[in-house]
Amino acid sequence: MAAPRFVEQLNEQIDNEFGAHQQYVAIAAYYDALTMPQMAALFYSQAIEERDHAMMMVKYLLDADELVVIGGVDAPRCDFSNVVEPVQLALEQEKRVTEQINALTKTAREESDFASDQFMQWFIKEQVEEVAKISDLLAVVSRSKDDYERIEDWVAREVQSQGTDPTAPAVAGA
């Protein structure tokens, strides 16, 4: 069994991950409307990744014989004044998620919930990668904000599909 305080916070994090999913869909649609298919594909992929993170957490709770509580999410931001703003928002979101993941890990440790602590380790590694990727993207988009093709070329060249991580937790329903 997972520690009750950890279970409560993980259920909240599931909602956060679904909220991140929605925000990335909104960002992807923004770039799609600008005919920036590489940026759109990147953020559609990010959306799927966030959804999968939520489902990994659902699976963990189910495996731990804990109650899964799916709440609602706030509407994502859909209006942006330039191509830089969505990436800035994405970086802020990834930094916030990093804080949330760290807080969950801290709770697991405070509660001597070793299985939950171990479960969170993959997410810590994942957040380091996500913040680095979006930080690099923000630098490129900021530098090339008036040259959409240059941004698209960089994304096509530098942002490779990572494939499946064999160390990732299982996704519920997969």
The whole-chain average pLDDT of the chain stands at 95
pTM: 0.94
Q: Quick one: average pLDDT of 43-48?
A: 96
Per CATH, the number for 4-158 is 1.20.1260.10
| Count of Cβ atoms closer than 10 Å to residue 43 Cβ | 25
Residue 146: CA count within 13 A, CB half-sphere: 0
pLDDT recorded at residue 31: 98
Dump pLDDT digits (tens) for 56-96. 999 999 999 999 999 999 999 999 999 999 999 999 999 99
In the chain, where are the structural domains located?
Answer: 4-158
Residues 126, 130, 136, CA angle at the centre, nearest 5°? 150
